Amino acid sequence: YKERYAIERTNAWMDSYRSLLNRFDTTIASWLGFNYLSFMAIFLKKMKSKKFK
């Protein structure tokens, strides 16, 4: 259950990126690049919300 929850949560976060949902890119490399960018943006938002000492 924990693995499925993590996957479903990640998919929900990815839904907020419209360019990934509507795949208008002509190459797989550019689509993959947008995936990497969105994962980095999600990661940075999560890191920013956590308080580090």
Q: What is the pLDDT of residue 53?
A: 45
Q: What is the pTM of this model?
A: 0.59
Q: What is the pLDDT of residue 42?
A: 82
Q: What is the pLDDT of residue 37?
A: 85
Q: What digits encode the pLDDT tens for the residues 4-48?
A: 888 888 777 777 776 666 666 678 887 788 888 888 888 888 888
Q: Is the dihedral of CA 46, 5, 20, 17 positive or negative?
A: negative
CB 31 within 8 A of CB 17: no
DSSP category for residue 50: S
